[in-house]
Amino acid sequence: IKKHPQRSIDMINNLFPERILNAILDVHENEDGSGYPNKKMGAEISYIAKIVSICDIFEALTHPRNFRNEFSPYEAIKMIIKKKDSFFDENILKKFVNYLSIYPIGSLIYLNTGEIAIVIGSNKGYPTRSIVKILLNANREAAKDEKFINLLDDKMVYICGPVEPKGVKEILHFLKPRGDFDL
């Protein structure tokens, strides 16, 4: 498996500019030199590869694999941040998190109002001030009207934390039979 970056380059060598080929070759290299195929570190790794690497790992974590279930977007961000010192360029990672937010689109979250919402958008540079759609009111009843809140505009409302995976299944089970929401 550690030879696939070089094999990929061998197959497409004449099709793309050198900077793209370098990114393909370097995408599995880590900041601390623990990656493959060439154990590159820091500045030796293509800038494009550093960006693609974060995206690749986020995508892999948020989708199921044969050996595990998917992680929530929030959990994936948390896991990626924990590896920042060894795997990722910290400046690029900060840009990634600021762009996606701490609670990426699709995350189910608790608000300080007692409501449960789904993140439908982000505000660049404000990773905790997402745009949300209310799913359940404070009494855990399905919201009757569509209610959207831009947390950047409404400073009185804020995210308390993510709905844990067990809670997500309960919420989806509650909502799905009613057909009230298009998630």
CA distance 149 to 108: 14
pLDDT exceeds cutoff 90 at 2: no
Q: Give CA separation, 161 vs 74, 97, 99, 176, in Å.
A: 9, 16, 18, 23
Above 50 in pLDDT, residue 62? yes
| Cα separation, 94 vs 71, whole angstroms | 20
Residue 120: per-residue pLDDT: 96
Strand bridging mode 148-150 / 159-162: unpaired
Q: What is the mean pLDDT of the chain?
A: 89
**pLDDT of 91-136, one tens digit each?**
999 999 888 888 989 889 999 999 999 999 999 889 899 999 999 9
pLDDT of amino acid 183 = 47
Q: Are strands 148-150 and 116-123 parallel, antiparallel or unpaired?
A: unpaired
The yes-or-no verdict on residue 66 having pLDDT over 90 is yes
Average pLDDT rounded to a whole number, residues 60-84: 92
**Residue 73 banded pLDDT, cuts 50, 70, 90:** confident
Structure pTM? 0.77
Enumerate the domain spans of the chain: 4-100, 108-178
Q: What mean pLDDT comes out for the span 57-75? A: 92
Looking at CATH, the fold of the domain delimited by 4-100 is given as Hypothetical protein af1432 (1.10.3210)
